[in-house]
């Protein structure tokens, strides 16, 4: 990470720092310690990542076969 960062990069890093914190204790009490994460978003990201890996590997196979 360069020492001179643009303002947009600083804003993005600041947001990620705010998001990266423990869940408040009162939320655990309110929800009876049942905290769910969005599995749909994780599954969609995983599918996109697998599609990207497959497309890259198919491109490598075409170049090697020539």
The pTM (predicted TM-score) of the whole model is 0.38
The pLDDT score that the predictor gives to residue 6 is 92
C-alpha to C-alpha distance for 6 and 14, rounded to whole angstroms? 12
DSSP summary character for residue 22: P
In a domain, 19, yes or no: no
Alpha helices (runs of H) in 1-66, residue ranges in sequence order: 7-19, 25-30, 39-65
Calculate the alpha carbon distances from 21 to 9, 15, 25, 32, 47 in Å.
Answer: 20, 11, 12, 20, 27
Q: What is the pLDDT of residue 10?
A: 94
Does residue 66 surpass a pLDDT of 70?
no
pLDDT at 39 over 70: no
Is 47 part of a structural domain of the chain? yes
Instruction: Give residues with Cβ within 8 angstroms of 35, minimum separation 6.
Output: 23, 27, 28
What pLDDT sits at residue 14?
94
Domain count, the chain: 1
| Residue 6 falls inside a structural domain | no
Q: What is the pLDDT of residues 2-38, one digit of tens each?
A: 788 899 999 999 999 999 988 888 888 888 888 776 6
């Amino acid at each position: 990470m360069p020492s001179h960062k643009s303002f947009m990069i600083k804003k993005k890093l600041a947001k990620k720092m705010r998001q990266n914190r423990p869940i408040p204790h009162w939320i655990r009490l309110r929800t009876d310690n049942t905290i769910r994460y969005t599995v749909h978003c994780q599954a969609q990201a995983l599918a996109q990542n697998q599609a990207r890996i497959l497309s890259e590997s198919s491109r490598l196979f075409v170049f090697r076969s020539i």
